[in-house]
Amino acid sequence: MRRSRRTKILATLGPASESQEMIEKLFEAGADVFRLNMSHLPREKLKDRVATIRAVEAKFKRPIAILADLQGPKLRVGAFEGDSAMLEPGQTFTLDADMAPGGKNRVHLPHPEILSSLEPGHTVLIDDGKLRLRVKSVKQGAAATTVEIAGKISNRKGVSLPDTTIPVAAMTDKDRSDLEAALDAGVDWIALSFVQRPEDVAEVKKVARGRALVMSKLEKPQAIARLDEIMEISDAVMVARGDLGVEMPLEKVPGIQKRIVRAARRLGKPVVVATQMLESMITSPVPTRAEVSDVATAVYDGADAVMLSAESASGQYPIDAVATMSRIAEEVEQDQNYWSIMRTLNTEPEATGSDAIAAGAHQIADTLNLKTMAAWTSSGSTAFRIARERPNSTVIALTPSQDTARRLALVWGVHSIRTKDASDIDDMAFRACKFAVREEFADVGDRIIIVAGVPFGTPGATNMVRIAFINQEHAAQA
């Protein structure tokens, strides 16, 4: 099950794709990571869903990463008398703490933290931006707004606050319960929704304690304002363009996407581009030309992974959507412009021995035109560092840790294999060559480059590069 592309694919599971048979077909079509959306997946079904994916993993004998996506705080207005009301342009509409059913002039906002945080001039978006209100005055328990974009408002529609920092954590009580359940079930990545500040990420990492890595979903202006701090503490990030496009002007989203992807490349942290990538394939067997260009742009930018949401979770053509995304990525990566862009975006290595070794290995592989790099890694950090360089070589990550092998399924260009740790330098070289042949990344007569840390099994101790020649003995034992 070797892939012929470096960019990874995340597929969201849902009603259209939750059976083991469908998960197997999605994996064969090209899915590398499966996303479990906790907004829709009942907590009591989580363990069974993880077990189903692990059964697929065992069948194909390839590590598969599982991402549990926490719902985050869902801000909504209350209910209306008659279930809805029609707002007119320029009228005053009040959001308040009164629990009585709403009407044409007011509605209950069951979030006191919002009412205490709003200030005159702040924007309030309702129903994914279909209605826009501007706060004109705030008093105890109520905010009077002017309707700028009018229309129908109905029960429990979502509220977005692009100008307001809300003094609540990104995790709700539901999220905390879901997080514990996900960690107990053995997921590999946790995605945190509606991150506003680095402290939000720190809270999740404190609970996870290394049992899973944490991915910050960047979907709020407040997160973009503190991007460097949030990225520093996160293990990975996601460009969540859906909510980002609601809370910020749409025309700003492409530039923000490029900024986030480049920042992640610079830090050597995985970055996922998500939302509406092949949206039309929810109901159509083929995408629009614009959607193909959108996926290709993310691949050209050097994103580690691209994600499917409703396309694979509830769409009519989930397998076609994954296969289409895989073909787009393969085609882009065969374009000579792709590799010239990758080289242009490379950054200077950090002043550490491990980063210098990773950068040096990339240069050696490039100079000698070696098509395979093998990285012995315990924690995964060596493979992360090499992937950051975006080498024009396949990166085989050899690790004794099943958790590490699975987590690396998200990382650009990494083909992870679980195996016992090397016993000495000769064993390290021999088995790296053997696996390169077995996985069909190299042949007898080829040279490969091996990166490792001595003493073996010491996380973060990358300090050695070796070039090895593949001979008949390696092929015989492959």
Residue numbers annotated as active site: 35, 76, 217, 275
CA dist 36 and 46 (Å) reads: 8
Q: How long, in residues, is the chain?
A: 478
Tell me the C-alpha distance between 375 and 358, whole Å: 10
Distance CA 399, CA 376 (A): 6
Cα distance between residue 398 and residue 377, in whole Å: 6
* Pairing mode of beta strands 92-96, 142-149: antiparallel
Question: Phi and psi for 328 in degrees, rounded to 5?
Answer: -60, -50
Beta-strand ranges (E) seen in 340-406 are 372-376, 394-399
| Residue that the structure tokens 């931006």 belong to | 129
- CA separation for the pair 279, 325 (Å, rounded): 12
Pick from 457, 446, 395, 470: nearest CA to 422: 457
| Tokens matching residue 165 | 């920092």
Phi, psi of 131 (to 5 degrees): -120, 140
The tokens 């010239």 sit on which residue? 340
- As a whole number of Å, the CA-based R_g of the chain is 24
Longest dimension (CA), the chain: 81
- Give the span between the Cα atoms of 377 and 383, in whole angstroms: 7
**Are the C-beta atoms of residues 1 and 29 closer than 8 Å to each other?**
no
b (16+ CB within 10 A) / e for 379-403: bbbbbbbbbbbbbbbbbbbbbbbeb
